[in-house]
Amino acid sequence: MIALFLRDLRLAFRAGGGFGLALAFFLLVAVLVPLGVGPKAATLALIAPGILWVGAMLSCLLTLDRLFATDFEDGSLDLLATAPIPMEGVVLAKAAAHWVTTGLPLALLAPVLGILLQLPGPAFGWLTLSLLIGTPALSMIGAFGAALTVGIKRGGLLLSLLVLPLYVPTLIFGAEVVQRAGQGAPLQSPLLLLAGITAGALALLPFAAAMAIRVNLR
């Protein structure tokens, strides 16, 4: 599993798709939104939590379509299916590599972009924390969607349609954490719910994704 994880990291950084593309899209969202809604600080501060979380969610979505597709096309996925590593471990390794190359950099970049969106000062730390807690769920849910569409040519659109509704709870509670932090309101409930979604996704979806891959390889 560790070797597969490191292999996916090398491929992501070498190709530039898992790292540069997601960060560039996230940056574009943060730059274009103030141009669209106007420079008023009060308006930007109000919408900043939602915009930053939507930008992070869509940035994660950009790199999902090649999560299993490349290995399926060159036959590596068939070899992994017959390897001593359980398919659930393969799914977890690939989801972890996706998070390291997308979710983690996005969480670290988000406070910088929060300055552009006039995010309230108390919310900066909670923005990073909420993304660190929530983005693993985005990667794991995305891996499940990629497993469902692995054998479909040009399945990127179908993948988006499958995954986006599943992203909604993570988006709601993640943005709510940041919103409440900026207002000084209690944020324990949305933070615990966000952590619960991530824990549930990591516990259940590797088995569902592995089953979907086995079906698609038959």
* Per-residue tens of pLDDT for the chain, all 218 residues: 788 888 888 877 775 555 688 889 999 998 898 888 887 888 899 999 999 999 999 999 988 887 888 888 878 888 888 878 899 999 999 999 999 999 999 999 999 999 989 999 899 999 999 999 999 999 999 999 999 988 777 767 888 899 999 999 999 999 999 999 999 999 999 999 999 999 999 999 999 999 999 888 87
**pLDDT computed for residue 12 by the predictor:** 77
Q: What domain range is 128 assigned to?
A: 2-217
Angle, vertex CA 36, rays to CA 31 and CA 41, nearest 5: 75
User: Other CB atoms closer than 10 Å to residue 127's CB: what's the count?
Assistant: 27
Residue pair 70/192 in contact (Cβ under 8 Å)? The answer is no
**pLDDT computed for residue 66 by the predictor:** 79
**pLDDT computed for residue 199 by the predictor:** 97
**pLDDT computed for residue 85 by the predictor:** 84
- From 172, 50, 59, select the one nearest 123 (Cα to Cα): 50
Give the pTM: 0.92
**pLDDT computed for residue 18 by the predictor:** 57
In the chain, the number of structural domains is: 1
Q: Which residue has the tokens 């599993």?
A: 1
